[in-house]
Structures are given as C-alpha cells and as structure tokens.
Amino acid sequence: MTRRSRWDLIVVGSGLFGLTVAETMAREHGCRILLLERRAHLGGNAWSEAEPQTGIEIHRYGAHLFHTSNERVWQYVNRFTAFTGYQHRVFTIFKGQAYPMPINLGTICAYFGQYFTPDQARALVARQAGTAAGRAENLEDKAVSLIGRPLYEAFVRGYTAKQWQTDPRELSPDIITRLPVRYTFDNRYFTDTYEGLPVGGYAAWLTRMAASELIEVRLQTDFFDVRADLPADVPVVYTGPLDKYFQYSEGPLSWRTLDFEPQVLACGDFQGTPVMNYADEDVPWTRIHEFKHFHPERDYPADSTVIVREYSRTATPGDEPYYPVNAAADRHRLLKYRSLAAAEHNVHFGGRLGTYKYLDMHMAIASALSMVDNTLVPRLAAR
C-alpha cells in the first residue's frame, strides 16, 4: 500500500462503530488511523464512569446492556473484555403496582388478578384486540391489535406519550410493530444467545479498543473545526450526524433526546431492580435506573445507592440525539441525504448518527465489521 499521508484512514467519532473500524483496520491491516472525537472521552454513548461519592459505576448516557446472537460480534468483543452473567429484567409501575416487562404471562396474570394458561391468555388478548388488526393506521391501533385495549391502556399509552410527547394515535404503527408479547413466564428482556456486562466496565473495554500504537486519538476535536486541515486524499469514515455533514442542505432530521437526573441516596437499595419503568402519564420521567444492581458481584457501599431518572423529549439544536423520529418528512429528507452521501467518493457514512438508524451496540459492531470487509479493505487495497 502506497502511503500518501501519515494516516491511511480518518475515523470521525469514537462510538462503537468508529472504534470497531479503527481497531480492526489497525490490527488486521496495519493501517495508521486518525481517530477524531469531539467529546472528552472515547466510546460515544456507551461510556461509563464511577460516581465520585459512592464509586458505583454509572452509564453517563443511559443504561447500556450488551446482548447479541451474532457469533462473530461475540468473539470480537471478547478480545477486549470478559462479560458477567447479567440478564436484563425490567419492571414497570402502573397505578402503584409493579409488573414484569415486556408483557408476558406473568404480566397478564398479575394485571387481571388470576392465573391463565398460555392458551387462555392468547384467547383473552385476541378477544380484547377485536378487529383492531384490520385498521392499524397508527401506533395505538397496532398496539391494540397485538395486546388488546386493557394492556395497551395500562402499559403502552402513557409510556409512549411521554417517550414521544405525542398522542400515540398520531404516531406511525411501525414504531410498535415488534412489541414483544410472551405467553410464558419468561421475563428476560432480551432473548439473545449471549448477554452480559463488561466485567471491568465500559470505559476499560472502550479504552482497550483504541490502545494500538497505530491509532492516534484526538479527543475534544470537532471534525468540522479541523476538516480543512486534513489531507484530502485519505479516506474518511464519518459517524457524526448525516444532515450536519451536508450543512442541513435538505433540512434537519428529527431526533428524540434524553435528559438524566442523577441522585445519591442514603439507602442501600431504592427499587430492588436495575430499571423501573413508569407507565402512568402523570409521572414525568419514563424510567429510573439504579446502577448498583447491574453489578451485584461488586463490593458497592451497603448504605448508599445512585439512581438516575430519565426523561424523554424532542431534540433541539445542541442536544444529544438518541432516537431517530423517522417521520414521513424525515424519510423524504433521508433519501436526499443518502443520494448526497453516495456521491462522496472518499467518505463512508456509518453508525447511528451517520445512517439515521437506531443501532444497538451489537448492531453497530456488526455493521462496522461489514464496512471493513466489503468497503474499506477493497478500497484501500486499490489505492
């Protein structure tokens, strides 16, 4: 490979997509990487850190739970960290009562106050859904068709209204299409082959990914501030906002953002579980995280705990984007941005922000490995 610069590849953004690209290209192909990150730390939204008063590891940008059924991804992440045996389970409070989520046979029995066999529960939900499946023109109709009106009113309507700040009847049915309903007592949130949390925390895992001497990391560096000074002949993997790259020429893409309210409490256990959802619409937060429960194997203080209330709202300029809204206007703009992106010969767009797709961690890693195999290696080999 003929070197035209001190770098073979520039990666913009050090989330799991960008880190995977940088680490793999350096380790497997000997490429020299410039990794640019506008924040003061690596890892994007997966970053974690110790709360200074208690030492409890908190996830700065909301709970991150690793899970995958992709064997290649699992083998890849185990290069950098071992994982605990943690299995994620969520509960939701509705009218002062806690129920297991996602909706399963235990939820149905508890809500209706009696035991149902799986077949009885299916028949009950089918009766309550009625003919909704034939007229699913919005989220509410679709949800009712899947779980019936009573369960929808209890566990979906209020929570969704808070999450999207929009009446569910105004939201696309696609948002709720994969709503899980289980007619067993299995209350695991995920059903992937592999699941766990990094033994040493996310910060240690993510830092190891960028440890190669072939990777030059520049934190607190905004790509758009240094763009003019970068060599034009070096390929770029861009994982920032797609619309920002093109100076919002087709209009801004809309996102949901999250606000977090941490609190240290002088008690050993606040809620008895890592995540508690709040389905009542008059409760302003969507859920509360209690991070000590993510690592019961650790020796955390017995007389204190850290909770973080999470709130959802529409992202405004300057906010951190989390979930793509993907309304009709967004989809129209996205097609135009994708055409512009395809015309950028030396820039490759990836990650959650760069593709305007919500990607779980394992999905971001898989997508990055695919870009390395199918795009970057062939392109760099041809230089």
Which are the catalytic amino acids? Answer: 178, 182, 256, 287, 310, 358, 360
Degrees to nearest 5, angle at CA 51 with 269 and 296: 40
Spatial separation of the C-alpha atoms in residues 373 and 203, rounded to whole Å: 27
CB atoms closer than 10 angstroms to residue 224: 12
**Six-digit token string for 215:** 């990777």
Task: Look up residue 96 and give its two tokens.
Answer: 């002062």
Q: Collect all residues with Cβ–Cβ distance below 8 Å to 299 and sequence separation of at least 6.
A: none
**Alpha-carbon gap, residue 358 to 208, rounded angstroms:** 25
Q: Which residues pair with 58 in a beta bridge?
A: 49
Which residues does residue 309 pair with via DSSP β-bridges, in sequence order? 261, 288
Helix (H) or strand (E) holding 262: strand 255-265
In what side-by-side order are the strands of the sheet with 287-290? 97-101, 90-94, 275-278, 287-290, 305-314, 255-265, 323-324
The Cα 194–Cα 192 span in angstroms is 5
Q: In which residue are the tokens 């880190």 written?
A: 19
Instruction: For residue 91, give the 3-state DSSP assignment.
Output: strand
Q: How far is CA 77 from CA 17, 38, 83, 90, in A?
A: 12, 24, 9, 25
